[in-house]
Chain A
Amino acid sequence: MTALSSPQSTSAPTDPAAVPENTVDDEHRVPGGWRRAAVAVTGAIACLLPAVFTVNIARMLITGVESEHRFHQATGQGLLLTALWLGALVPLVRAGWAGRRPPLAAGLLHLAFVLIGAGCAAVAPGGGAPILMAVIAVPGALLWAALPQRPRLRTPVQIDPVLAPVALLAAAVFTPYAIDQIGLQDAATGYHAQNPHFFDMAWMTLTLTAAALLASALPAARRMVLWLALGALVTGAAGVAFGESTTWSLLVLCLGLAAGASAAVRHRVGWTR
């Protein structure tokens, strides 16, 4: 007799309220050879610069080269920036290689990273920032063109009552800071004009803010708040450790803790509820 089985699902049932990033209609087709080659080549080009940058900055940080800039090496002009950069690119490349649709969060992060960088470069063009952004944007665009399926950017909007306050707090903390940094970059001369770490700091902080705002608005991108938590904790800790403004550093650290706590609450309740 075929059993009218009575399985009891005592663990959390599959959340039917979950907004899937890839719908059941997405077909997982193994891409052809040429397509894979295109993804590999464009992905390699796009990831080359941040990978080299990461290694270089890590070496400088460890060996103490330009030790007066260790804060920037750890954050906006260094490891945190490349983490955001590669954190957006790598999931795109992996999904493209496998023929899957890339996660929305990766697509949005990459777009935010490039667009915010372009915006900051337009406002503070010193130190070769526009050229840098062109070097970043063009391979990124080629990678998007090479992907067999692109992230599904049209997604429902639902403001999250736990993440929205954290995101707007981040905006309140980081926006004035970014504006100040851009002002400093514009006014910089000499070494600081050629080495635009003020621009990088503005770029990095605004990208973290954008990630948090997107997480608060899009159910499929809620996990992006983890970038704010990580970024704010690292920035705050680095500020305290490397002698930046204590008040600001502690404020950012508290923001990171708040973002982490909100992420923990979200994780407990369900990311896409």
Chain B
Amino acid sequence: MDTAVVRTASPVRATAVSAALLRSPVSAGLAVLASMAALGAAAVLTAGDGWSLEPVRQLVVDLAVGLTYPVIGAVVLSARSLDRGTRGLAWVLLGSGLAAALTALTAAAALVAAEATPGVRVLAQLQSWLWVPGFLTLLTLVPLLYPDGLLRGRLWRATTAASVVGMTLLAAGVALYPEALAGRVTVTKPVTWLAGAQVLAVAASLLLVPACLLSVGSLFVRLRSSEGLRRRQVVVLLVAAAVLLVVTALQGVIPAPIDTVAQAVAVALLPVAIGVAVTRHRLYDLDVAVCRALVAASLAVCLSGLYLTVFAIARAVAPDRSALSTALAAGVTGVLVQPLARRLSAGVDRLFYGDRADPYAVSARLASRLAERGLDVAEVPQAVCDTVVGALRLGSAEIRLDVDGTEQKVASAQAPSTGRAGPSEPFPLRHRGEVIGRLAVRARPGEPALDPRDAEILATVADQAAPALAALRLHQQLQHSRESLVLAREEERLRLRRDLHDGIGATLAGLRLQVESAQALTGDPRVATLLGAAGGGVSHAVDEVRSITDSLRPPAIDDIGLGPAMALLAERVRTPDLAVTTRIDEVTGLGPAVEVAVYRIASEALANTARHSGCTRVTMRLRIEGRTPEHGGSHVVLEVSDNGRGVQTDTPAERSRSHLGLDSMRQRAEEIGGSLEVRTGSGKDAPGGRGTLVRAVIPLAPARSTLGETQ
């Protein structure tokens, strides 16, 4: 089967290569030409026994550039769907590589020549300036164009122009400079002009120095201003450039010929990095290579450090037995290679992919988060999203629950730096066979889709979180039912109160008047006594009806309105030692349940203030606020603040008292979808930093009653 696969793969691959070459035959041809020139230079040096000549050391770098740059340029140009800027970059790579290859070839021929014939002198002249476009483009045009063309702005166009003009002037200047080539024989150039060369060189440097600085600076500008894929592309080049910089700085420290080879390899890294960055569109496969490289580099440094440390200790213990020290250091290092490599690899995996390699760790962390003390059931979805994004370093996560037939987003989390968002993949949240919602996750930035290992873990997380989310949904449904019941209760109480007050109460009051009138009119004392008794009975009934209607709802709300009723509450607690300030907005259109809740909470809060706080000043505010992110629709806000001693919880009695009062107020707010907050030590009226603020927020549009309309 493998053989069959190979047989069918080979023709396919050959066809693909041919198609790629045909897309850009010119670039392919130039790349071939450059490669042949570079290889020709190597052949000339070999044939002419020129490798030992001193100037050949510089040629090695030219050979590396001449071989790699044109090939990478041609590869990039053969890719599909390249933008114009990237094409320009590829042509620059191709051109500079070709120039470097020709430099190597002409220099090699001139160096190994046995005599300075006119042809050899021409070659010497050519090699003296061809290195300019072969080398300086790497410091000017390549950074300017990488990865997808020039940055916007006149500055960068001017820099490009200055680079091109500067390189042209410099090439002309060095071509005319009367410097002889010291090869097997000394070769002088046929055409020289010292004065002209000096002028041209000065002019070129005036253009090229700032152009080089700006060009390199443009990379950092791109780095700062880009994100996601583009940023990763710039980072790839900067890493390769940093390696080249370090190797160049170490020239003279590293022994020859290793220094030359190292520099050639470092120079060759640049086009490879450029080619990979611009052709591997999302760089996701590069992560694997980077991971492996990081593990290898880390392991190499660790082992080196370990070896040197053990060697130093062993030598200190046995200074006369350096062989033993060496063996011991090598042995310890050897023993630790595999376990260290394993742990470093796991560490790198954690850096890149989070806990993907350890599904148990993800589950354990989610379980730990859900088991945290004080975690509210409403915070569970956010905890799940945070765990998914944080532990697995994914792009984003979102939980949507089916609530009363509609899907509602209840929580989301996003990684801090996310490039282009990938597709979202949903994971069903199943509880007792029913799909109660979805966990939607996006892959890591740069990845086209979720890795199967991530998907496996996320399925487990979804299964683990589903019961808790089902509990949340049930809690929500219960809350809805409770609100509906409370609303229905208050509406029914309002109806009853009105019926009793306007119906039977009025009837009884009228009856009492009639009885009293009849008693006043009759002359018969026995009749008067009977009527008196009947009138007393009717009065008692009237009082009972009034008592019942008063207990159904605070009468002041219906008699004078909520605002004045609350002002009356405040008036009742005012004393010479307690100043009460009220700021009550005109609130209309509140439902009966909201009115009662606001009134009762205010009554309780003022009573607590008067009885327990020891304050001298209390302020009550009532207002309606519009829609906010925190509270959704419009809501009524009640605040009661004082400058007292604050909520005391030092003794059990105090704790019990405060809890009962606060619990009662909180229940009244929550049973109609509101919330209550009590803060001690934050009252604006509290000069000593103490004081209490009770703040109730109640929505204006609670759920409709499920018991039907009131009559």
Contacts and interface: CB of A to CB of B under 8 A. Distances in A.
Interface of A: 1-17, 24, 158-162, 164-165, 167-172, 175-176, 179, 183, 269, 273
Contact of B410 (A6, A10, A162, A176): A6
Contact of B361 (A13, A17, A172): A17
Given A3-B631, A16-B387, A158-B347, A9 B306 contact: no
Interface of B: 294-295, 297-298, 301-302, 304-309, 312-313, 316, 340, 343-344, 346-348, 350-351, 354-355, 361, 365-366, 368-369, 372-373, 378, 382, 385-387, 389-391, 401, 403, 408-416, 472, 476, 479-480, 483, 630-632, 670, 673, 699, 702-703
Contacts of B307: 172
Contacts of B313: 175, 179
Contacts of A269: 351
B304 A6 contact: no
Contacts, number: 139
B343 A159 contact: yes
Given A16-B365, A161-B347, A179-B312, A168 B412 contact: no
Contact of A160 (B295, B347, B369, B673): B347
A2 B413 contact: no
B312 A1 contact: no
Contacts of A159: 340, 343-344, 346-347
Given A6-B408, A176-B312, 19 more contacts: A1-B632, A1-B702, A6-B411, A8-B413, A13-B386, A14-B390, A16-B365, A16-B366, A16-B368, A17-B354, A17-B355, A17-B365, A159-B346, A160-B347, A161-B348, A164-B298, A175-B309, A175-B313, A179-B316
A34 B501 CA distance: 68
Contacts of B476: 2, 4
Given A4-B401, A10-B414, A269-B351, A165 B312 contact: no
B301 A14 contact: no
B231 to A, nearest CB: 14
B242 to A, nearest CB: 12
A15 B344 contact: no
Nearest to B674: A2
A91 B316 CA distance: 36
A172 B315 CA distance: 13
30 contacts: A1-B479, A2-B476, A3-B632, A4-B378, A4-B403, A4-B476, A5-B630, A6-B409, A11-B416, A13-B385, A13-B389, A13-B413, A16-B368, A17-B391, A24-B373, A158-B343, A159-B347, A161-B294, A161-B295, A161-B348, A165-B297, A165-B305, A167-B305, A168-B306, A169-B301, A169-B304, A170-B305, A172-B304, A175-B313, A273-B350
Contacts of B343: 158-159
Contacts of A161: 294-295, 298, 344, 347-348, 351
B302 A13 contact: no
Nearest to B344: A161
Contacts of A13: 385-387, 389-390, 413
Nearest to A164: B302
Contact of A4 (B294, B304, B309, B408): B408
